[in-house]
Structure 1
Amino acid sequence: MSMQLSQNELQDQPPPHAAAQGVDDLDQENAAMDPVGMMLVRSFRDADQPGRVTLSLPAGVESGATPFPAPHLLRMIERTFIDLPESDAIELAPGLLERTLHSDHDLALVSVSAAGKTVSFERKAFFQSAAPWLHCRPSSCMPLTSVTEMGKIRHPQRPPEPRGLVYERYDPVIDMTISFRAIDPARDLETFYSWMNDGRVAFFWELAQSEEELAAYLETLRKDPHAFGLIGSFDGDPFGYFEVYWAKEDRLGSYYDADDYDRGWHGLVGNRRHLGHAKTLAWLRALTHYLFIDDLRSRKVVGEPRASHTKLLRYADDVAYYKVKEFDFPHKRSALMQCDRETFFETVRL
């Protein structure tokens, strides 16, 4: 089976989904050429290895022809993984990589291994790349220096909190783009106040306060180097608030053997239009993905929801979280939930 995709189909688009096809549709021809004459790339299923797919140049196209920009190659790889969810690797046929314009930054973040005369992208490695989805400076760029806060925990110095958009990716399961951006009190305080004063949210967050008090809360958070707030959106429509943190110096860090780069999160869905099973799994996948690609040194993502929060806990298996134990904070009984990097990228289809 084959599918031809043009540079024009990928130019200046979000992660492509409108033209995404199922496996049974791969024999349909979508041949086209963009206005500047970029040649097509065709993907082929390998009948001998059904889990592997090959991307190659069309017959007769020379490797020295017009270069193919690396960002579009990465989109092509992502699209192929979306179209073929059972595939575990994509090979680049001879000539394609040589024809790709790339810098060390463009492709070095993607795990590439030589396999004869081809180059392979393993699914579980490709989705650990920050390049296609992370929109801020990765935390892993922070030099390794340690600090001790208030004479207590010694931990790596943390990077400044991000500004603006930090993550964006199309989710094929819900056919929507999910994104996270840093919360901006000047822009988001009214929405933040509305959500925190919703009884459904207030039961868990206990922050049903005035706008002035919540503004002070966000200002305190802004000064805290171990945590920051995010607004999550589906197709640009804000749906929830999330606080992500470095677990070692968090209150949770003293309740388990925390590594230096463990990440954790708290979250709420305030926009009732975006409640439901499918969207909950979508933001759980995306938030966990963001935390893992933000710093490749992070081996675990953790959480401490109420042990009685069965609605949230029932989603754990589908996104590779598991319960380590139950324990008591001064104000609640919690479940220590953990997601391991290797398991997440091996078992969760993004």
Structure 2
Amino acid sequence: MTLTFPLPVSAGSKVFELWRELDRRFAESAADRLDLSPARLAEDGISLRELRCGYAADGAIVVERSGFYQSAGLWTNNPSATHMSAGLIAGPDGRDHPRRPAKPVGGFYERFDREAGASVGFEVLELEQHLSLFHRWQNDPRVAFFWEEDKSEAELAAYLTARIDNPSVIPVIASFDGDPAGYLEFYWGREDRLGAYYDAHPFDRGWHGLIGERRHLGRRKTAAWIRSLTHFLFLDCPMTEKIVGEPRADNVKLLRYTDPLAYRKIREFDFPHKRAALMHCDRGDFFATVRF
């Protein structure tokens, strides 16, 4: 999958190539900041506004690691939800929430993960294109043990249609180097069933996920897609300060990835259908500790 970026920040532009250089330099060093010469920006005709992630200090243009990975335009072509439509919507259990922005279309995130040695890509699930794949994954006993959705194609089509039609949920196909690997659901925590089990803030985001293709299992790739999806959810809305989750409390294989990726276990609680672990990931912790 190759993302198409909207003008004026198009792939191959001067600012895009500078972002790629900064991404490489951060990856090759332990530095938390890089200094650029103002002359370098002047030569390329790049303003501080176009750079997005730098500021002037002591005769240099300073780019901090945390700010770079929150604002550079390398990884997603989905416009950041900086403005929500006016008005509140009455949500479940009386929990009001902001009117949500339009969902992305097609491929909307791609990032080369150096630890996994592969590009992680996200695209919006299309029922006609992905239903048979989703059906096969859900009927794998390994997946069915946790998801409990080992059903017919017709039943799963109804499941996916409900999520496609829900403005607070994005059903996603995750890939490695363009090869479909698994399924994700991104949701707004306030509107989700989880919102009734903790102090849900209006812009909390959450996710469910599975790796359906066994060839894409393993520590490095699992860490890569969790790192990437968390990155996207923070990029997608600057008001989002927390990512939440509720995996099964006995899903030891998944929970072992949480600490290195800045997730922390708040407590365990009981859903009607499972014992769950309430997980939180704070924006500041994620960008301060996770290396890309």
TM over 0.5, yes or no? yes
Residues of 1 paired with 2:92 and 2:171: CA distance?
23
Unpaired runs of 5+ in structure 2? 4-12
Give the match for residue 87 of structure 1.
31
- Partner letter of residue 62 of structure 2? S
Unaligned residue ranges in structure 1 (runs of 5+): 1-12, 15-67
What is the distance in 2 between the residues matched to 1:119 and 1:226? 39
Contact preservation (8 Å) 1:130, 1:294: no
Contact (CA 8 Å) 1:106, 1:131: kept in 2 or not?
A: no
Looking at structure 1, the residues matched to 211 and 72 of structure 2 have their Cα atoms a distance apart, in angstroms, of 26
Q: Does 1:306 align with 2:251?
A: no
> Post-superposition shift, 1:141?
4.0
For residues 120-158 of structure 1, what are the alpha-carbon distances to aligned partners after superposition, in whole Å with 9 as ceiling and x for unaligned? 100011001151111212233433532213672211111
**SS at 1:342's partner residue?**
helix
The one-character-per-residue Cα deviations of 1:211-255 (angstroms, maximum 9, x if unpaired) are: 111111111111111111111111001111000100011110111
Q: Which residue of 1 aligns with 2:200?
A: 258
Change beyond 3 A, Cα 1:144–1:321: farther
Q: Is the helix fraction higher in 1 or 2?
A: 2
User: Equivalent of 2:277, from 332, 335, 341?
Assistant: 335
* Cα separation, partners in 2 of 1:104 and 1:149, compared to 1, 3 Å: farther
Provide the residue aligned with 1:282 in structure 2.
Answer: 224
Q: 1:130 touches 1:293 (CA, 8 Å); kept in 2? A: no
User: What is the TM-score when the length of structure 1 is the normalising length?
Assistant: 0.77
Change (3 A) 1:144 1:132: farther
Contact 1:136 1:165 in 2 (8 A): no
Contact 2:85 2:100 in 1 (8 A): no
Q: What does 1:55-74 correspond to in 2, within 5 Å? A: 69-74=14-19
Distance 1:134 1:105 in 2: 18
Does 1 or 2 have the higher relative contact order (CA < 8 Å, sep 6+)? 2
1:166 aligns with 2:108: yes
Q: Percent identity?
A: 47
Whether 2:48 is the aligned partner of 1:98: answer: no
State the Cα deviation string for residues 62-113 of structure 1 (Å, max 9, x = none).
Answer: xxxxxx81111111111111122x11111111301112334787423x2x22
Is this contact kept in 2: 1:242–1:265, CA < 8 A?
Answer: yes
Shift of 1:272: 0.2
Q: State the alpha-carbon separation in 2 of the partners of residues 107 and 181 from structure 1.
A: 26
Instruction: Give the structure with higher Rg (CA).
Output: 1
Deviation track 1:1-41 (CA, whole Å, cap 9, x = no partner) reads: xxxxxxxxxxxx99xxxxxxxxxxxxxxxxxxxxxxxxxxx
Deviations along 1:290-321, one digit per CA (max 9) or x if unpaired, are 11111111000010001111111111111010
Aligned ranges 1:104-183 → 2 under 5 Å:
106-108=50-52, 110=53, 112-129=54-71, 131-149=73-91, 152-183=94-125
Contact 1:71 1:106 in 2 (8 A): no
Counterpart CA distance in 2 for 1:103 and 1:173 is 32
* Aligned-partner Cα distance in 1 for 2:72–2:90: 29
TM-score by length of 2: 0.92
Q: 1:185 to 1:100 in 2, by over 3 A?
A: same
Give the distance between the partners of 2:92 and 2:136, measured in 1 at CA.
35
Amino acid at match of 1:82: A
Aligned alpha-carbon RMSD (Å): 1.8
- 1:325 is matched with 267
Q: Distance in 1 between matches of 2:139 and 2:49?
A: 44
Match of 2:10 in 1: none
CA separation of 1:293 and 1:117: change in aligned 2, threshold 3 A: same
- The equivalent residue for 2:180 is 238
Q: Which amino acid aligns with 2:139?
A: N
- The answer (yes or no) to whether the contact 2:51–2:72 under 8 Å persists in 1 is no
Q: The residue matched to 2:71 in structure 1 has which SS?
A: coil
Label 1:251 to 1:130 Cα distance change in 2 as closer, same or farther (>3 A).
Answer: farther
Deviation of 1:181 after TM superposition, in Å, equals 0.7
